[in-house]
Structure 1
């Protein structure tokens, strides 16, 4: 086949691939780093007088996930003596039936006991509820230390029936363990439910059997077992993985790094830009957890819109071959650090017992993920330069154009969200 035909075929293949990828991306929501629909379940493990004790704070729907999941599949109403159906002018909803819970406490405690399964050495541990309470909504008080968990569970149950989707349940379970300080695993005892649009579920697990306590996070509904072993090293590795995972899952961060790499290539300038970006996001990631950011309702949507604008800037700068100054990319790093902190705030909590090592590990993970993106981008450029050099320029411009189009769409979407938050 003549060389010109090979180049034409390569170009057609590349342009088709770019169109296909862009079409997929445009069908996906512009994921923000903070979601008001994030639901957090906290599990704190302690040893008290030779007894393995677990304190749990859980959104009420997860206590009934088997029933919710069945109702979703069968398209039928929820059926439980502990739930009360309520018709309103704006739609139908459920409430926890506090009267029914008070009249049949034993059955409700059984449901709590079976919601999570704890195991050691491959054997499930028998469990007994020591006490529980219900909150109308997620309490402002923390649940990240043994003293805080004890205080939360001791609070009185509400007189009113809380909304099912907003209610939280705190409870204490005693496990029959021969080795209270041994490795513990936990997984869901009920089938998972299907979260609604924009709703994510995270689990914050704290091992308070050692001093200082260590924590880790796990996404989803614990369909697969998670190990709690009290190891600071494994916890550090866990947050390194979380940092790498969240930059790779954050499409706006990925596209920014790709635009930076395509803008200056494998040059010394790229090292300078990446360093400036890294310093910037490290500063705000740490500062946010020290309480240096405001709590205005419009602040997070404004940051998300600015992050999208920074991606557009990087794409345009790369297209016109103006890489941008170090100060500009340090400022962009400040914005993206806020975005990372919103994610870490959801999965870790700003009053976590091992906040400093978790912050350090998460930041290291971000850097590793960033290096992986750079390596992949520069590797593709290197291969194309040696195998299909005529296609390199149009492919580069096509990729940057796609990034610019997508980021423009994000800006419009996020500004719309910002308007509603003001």
Structure 2
């Protein structure tokens, strides 16, 4: 399962680069992990971040040679006519904490009395793929036990292929609650999809928070279970609302239901099915072969076509029909649940003692998102049903056919990935 997850991360996180002077900063990871420990010494932040987030917006204007002025701790060169940015290892070795200074200036931790002033404890730099574990507080502490630039002088590492671990301390923290934000805007394509995972340790409890994007808007860390879970509820809602394949399947369930009872049977079956495999997939109880994820995604696209066909060739009502509908959508939900679990594992990426709370909260968010789709579309279906029969039948067929065309394109695309 771990190999499959890493395969998914590679596919989902390899993002093209944005325009501007820093256009060729690759963003080969878009995950930032914050371990924040509150104890008698104050507030300690151990952060792992891709190097591109720190330096992409520090590139200067182009010079007479056509090359932009390099960002701090980088060099650039033309490779096949393209400007590429590389880590300047010697500059890092001369002043490693100067890189941490940039992060210290841009990381904002605020309490009631204002912004806290921080200090640098340590810093490490690694090529992506060679960094040690960072999933737990113990791993983060061990990783930052000593300062190290883990790139040799003769090693050519692109900025987009480097990861930075930084330990900052804010000794004057006076309250358990605080707000965390970042001032930087690296201008990278895909930066709005950044997965920020914040693990807060206080009074022997660990709370895991999830935030998406650059953290330009502060995230409130209160240390309560409800505040941490709420961030995963939001992520669950976002995942189903922004996941067009899930939206289209729910839409097919809505237009394929003869009445509210039939819709309830379908939705309940789908909920039960995807809840089971969401949990199974998250905890690794799924095939580990690299083909499994693209196979599931292909099958999900196929289920949308089947749901569209079912919506057109509706069954007559009755208890048996409702049970069959619930059974079918439960089976389909099993597939969709694996899709949810891949996403959740991608955004969580850490082990914490409250992981079950995050899992439950994410599932609640998925259900809320599904309910939102139903609440918007069912009244429209009711209105169409009250129109002349030909209007309803034509509208239903048009919607189902349109959805099928989109899903068929996905089947071809995803199947090609599966074969590859």
Report TM bin, short chain: 0.7 to 0.9
2:90 is the alignment partner of 1:99: yes
Contact 2:237 2:365 in 1 (8 A): yes
2:113 is the alignment partner of 1:119: no
Q: Which residue number corresponds to residue 200 of structure 2?
A: 207
Within 5 Å, which residues of 2 pair with 1:34-49?
35-37=12-14, 39-49=30-40
SS at match of 1:35: helix
The 2-side partners of 1:306 and 1:313 are apart by 10
Q: CA deviation at 1:211?
A: 2.6
Q: For 1:182, which of 153, 167, 176 is the aligned residue?
A: 176
2:44 is the alignment partner of 1:53: yes
The 2-side partners of 1:379 and 1:66 are apart by 48
The 2-side partners of 1:120 and 1:257 are apart by 43
Q: CA deviation at 1:292?
A: 0.9
Contact 1:65 1:190 in 2 (8 A): no
Measured at CA, do residues 295 and 335 of structure 1 come closer, stay the same or move farther in structure 2, by a change above 3 Å? same
2:172 is the alignment partner of 1:167: no
The 1-side partners of 2:89 and 2:411 are apart by 45
2:152 is the alignment partner of 1:193: no
Q: For 2:245, which of 246, 249, 252 is the aligned residue?
A: 252
Structure 1 residues 328-381: Cα deviation after superposition (integer angstroms, max 9, x where no partner): 322211110011111111211252442101111111111121122122221111
SS at match of 1:64: helix
Within 5 Å, which residues of 2 pair with 1:204-283?
204-283=197-276
Q: Which residue number corresponds to residue 26 of structure 2?
A: none
Structure 1 residues 287-344: Cα deviation after superposition (integer angstroms, max 9, x where no partner): 1122112332222111111111111110011112258654432221111001111111
SS at match of 1:195: coil
- TM-score with structure 1 length normalisation? 0.83
Structure 1 window deviating more from structure 2 (37-46 vs 291-300): it is: 291-300
Q: Which residue number corresponds to residue 346 of structure 2?
A: 346
Q: Which residue number corresponds to residue 147 of structure 1?
A: 138
Structure 1 residues 163-218: Cα deviation after superposition (integer angstroms, max 9, x where no partner): 21121101100114241x4212121122241325x993110011112432001111
Q: CA deviation at 1:47?
A: 2.2
Contact 1:185 1:225 in 2 (8 A): yes
2:308 is the alignment partner of 1:331: no
Q: CA deviation at 1:67?
A: 2.1
Measured at CA, do residues 33 and 317 of structure 1 come closer, stay the same or move farther in structure 2, by a change above 3 Å? farther
Q: For 1:135, which of 126, 133, 150 is the aligned residue?
A: 126
2:285 is the alignment partner of 1:292: yes
The 2-side partners of 1:149 and 1:48 are apart by 16
Q: Where in structure 1 are there 5+ consecutive unaligned residues?
A: 1-31
Measured at CA, do residues 233 and 78 of structure 1 come closer, stay the same or move farther in structure 2, by a change above 3 Å? farther
Measured at CA, do residues 190 and 401 of structure 1 come closer, stay the same or move farther in structure 2, by a change above 3 Å? same
Measured at CA, do residues 147 and 100 of structure 1 come closer, stay the same or move farther in structure 2, by a change above 3 Å? same
Q: Which residue number corresponds to residue 157 of structure 1?
A: 149
Count of matched residue positions in the alignment of Structure 1 and Structure 2? 385
Q: Which residue number corresponds to residue 366 of structure 2?
A: 366
- TM-score with structure 2 length normalisation? 0.84
Measured at CA, do residues 47 and 417 of structure 1 come closer, stay the same or move farther in structure 2, by a change above 3 Å? same
The 2-side partners of 1:258 and 1:33 are apart by 30
Contact 1:279 1:330 in 2 (8 A): yes
Q: CA deviation at 1:122?
A: 6.2
Measured at CA, do residues 254 and 68 of structure 1 come closer, stay the same or move farther in structure 2, by a change above 3 Å? farther
Measured at CA, do residues 91 and 142 of structure 1 come closer, stay the same or move farther in structure 2, by a change above 3 Å? same
SS at match of 1:264: coil
SS at match of 2:189: coil
The 2-side partners of 1:132 and 1:80 are apart by 18
Q: Which residue number corresponds to residue 320 of structure 1?
A: 313
Contact 1:276 1:333 in 2 (8 A): yes
Q: CA deviation at 1:70?
A: 8.1
Q: CA deviation at 1:237?
A: 2.1
The 2-side partners of 1:159 and 1:246 are apart by 37
Contact 2:136 2:351 in 1 (8 A): no
Q: Which residue number corresponds to residue 9 of structure 1?
A: none
